[in-house]
């Protein structure tokens, strides 16, 4: 199947070169302080804009791009880059691509870019800049947990979760109603330049540890004879959420194989072929991963035919807009680990 990304492919690099050149021609004096590496970063940023644009055009929903633009507004604003630079680069991208892509593809792209630039002026759209809104209320231990992971206090973080479990929370509840909202907030703080990358890494490393401690305290149903494989698609390095899902399935008696992050499609195929699970859970965090999920689903069905397991998709990338997950052609979707258990 020929996609918008296919049409865009030959124009990606020329577009990045053209736009970088034009940005430096306009804002050169301001940008020279970043040295030669500045141009390279600028190019990479343009290529990243193109990734988000391509997904929005492809899924036929501008939300992933609108959300990205609002996120960029926070990221750049928090780091002192004028918003005018972003608007200018989006205009340049749209100008270059509408000139070079076939008319229909160019028009679809232009409407997504227009939605992105329009949202910058709309203050009510601000809420969309936050990646990951939670469906369920937080448990009372969440703010202590969040403080602890930001301060690097692993034992206090662990104690908050154990306290919630002692008070009756199940492992999936502790995950979805404490650790998940705390990590979403960590992302928001990083986005607004309130915490460093190192703090964010520490917070996620501690959370991985806490998950192990919580798992050891959890109650499990007897094995139910069902098995599932859990994998982050190629390119997705966010594994914590999927780990929570895998552990949640185990508490219900499933035999769960968690393959982790960035699983190469060909190796996943082999694994599924030999394990033959009832369910495959694929996780997508950035919008670009939705395309990877779709390609993985297509490859699995083509290769395994009727032996292909039921495939569910989930993850942050699917949470931006209702029904976005359907683009992936998976059989099912859940918003979080507790929602998934409700659907078993």
* Segment (H or E) for 230: strand 227-232
186 lines the binding site for ligand B12 (CB under 6 A): yes
249 binds ligand B12 (CB under 6 A): no
Smallest distance from ligand B12 to CB 132, Å: 3
CA distances (Å), origin 102, targets 12, 14, 96, 263: 14, 16, 12, 34
Binding status of residue 251 toward ligand B12 by CB under 6 A: no
What whole-number distance in Å separates Cα of residue 252 and Cα of residue 318? 24
Task: Pull the structure tokens for residue 2.
Answer: 């020929």
Q: How far is the CB of 184 from ligand B12 (least distance, A)?
A: 4
Question: Considering CB under 6 A, how many residues would be counted as binding ligand B12?
Answer: 40
Give the DSSP letter of residue 227: E
Contact (CB, 8 A) for 322 and 291: no
| Residue among 126, 101, 19, 113 nearest 65 (CA) | 113
Among 19, 109, 164, 244, binds ligand B12 (CB under 6 A): 244
Question: Which is closer to ligand B12, CB of 94 or CB of 279?
Answer: 279
Looking at residues 68 to 97 of the shown chain, list those that interact with ligand B12 (rule: CB under 6 A). Answer: 68, 71
Residue 211 interacts with ligand B12 (CB under 6 A): yes or no:
no
283 binds ligand B12 (CB under 6 A): yes
Q: 108, 297, 315, 327: which one contacts ligand B12 (CB under 6 A)? A: 315
**What b/e readout covers 19-44, taking b as 16+ CB neighbours within 10 angstroms?**
bbebbbeebeeebeeeeeebbeebbe
Choosing from 148, 238, 277, 291, the residue that interacts with ligand B12 (CB under 6 A) is 238
* 239 touching ligand B12, by CB under 6 A: yes
Among 187, 263, 296, 324, binds ligand B12 (CB under 6 A): 187
Rounded Cα gap, residues 241 and 204, in angstroms: 11
Please give the Cα distance from 135 to 184 (Å, whole number): 12
Is 51 near ligand B12 (CB under 6 A)?
no
Footprint on this chain of ligand B12 (rule: CB under 6 A): 68, 71, 131-132, 176, 180, 183-184, 186-188, 190-191, 200-201, 204, 235-242, 244-245, 281-283, 285-286, 312-316, 334, 336-337, 340
């Amino acid at each position: 199947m020929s996609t918008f990304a296919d049409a865009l492919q030959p124009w990606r690099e020329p577009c990045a070169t053209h736009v970088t050149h034009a940005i430096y021609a306009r804002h050169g004096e301001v940008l020279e302080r970043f040295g030669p590496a500045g141009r390279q970063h600028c190019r990479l940023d343009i290529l990243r804009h193109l990734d988000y644009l391509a997904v929005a055009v492809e899924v036929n929903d501008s939300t992933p791009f609108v959300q990205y633009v609002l996120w960029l507004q926070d990221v750049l604003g928090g780091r002192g880059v004028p918003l005018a630079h972003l608007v200018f680069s989006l205009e340049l991208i749209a100008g270059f691509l509408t000139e070079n892509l076939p008319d229909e593809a160019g028009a679809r792209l232009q409407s997504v870019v227009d939605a992105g630039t329009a949202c910058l002026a709309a203050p009510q759209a601000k809420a969309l800049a936050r990646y990951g809104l939670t469906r369920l209320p937080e448990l009372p231990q969440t703010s202590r947990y969040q403080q602890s992971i930001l301060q690097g206090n692993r034992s206090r973080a662990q104690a908050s979760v154990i306290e919630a479990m002692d008070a009756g929370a199940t492992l999936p509840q502790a995950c979805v109603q404490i650790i998940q909202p705390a990590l979403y907030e960590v992302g928001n703080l990083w986005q607004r330049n309130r915490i460093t990358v190192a703090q964010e890494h520490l917070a996620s490393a501690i959370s991985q540890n806490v998950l192990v401690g919580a798992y050891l305290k959890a109650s499990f149903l007897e094995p139910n004879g069902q098995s599932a494989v859990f994998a982050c698609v190629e390119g997705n390095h966010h594994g914590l959420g999927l780990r929570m899902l895998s552990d949640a399935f185990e508490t219900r008696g499933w035999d769960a194989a968690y393959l982790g992050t960035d699983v190469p499609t060909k190796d996943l195929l082999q694994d599924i072929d030999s394990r033959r699970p009832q369910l495959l859970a694929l996780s997508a965090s950035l919008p670009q991963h939705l395309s990877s999920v779709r390609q993985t689903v297509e490859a699995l069905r083509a290769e395994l035919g009727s032996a292909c397991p039921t495939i569910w998709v989930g993850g942050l990338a699917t949470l931006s807009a209702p029904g976005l997950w359907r683009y992936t052609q998976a059989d099912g979707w859940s918003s979080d680990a507790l929602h998934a258990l409700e659907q078993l």
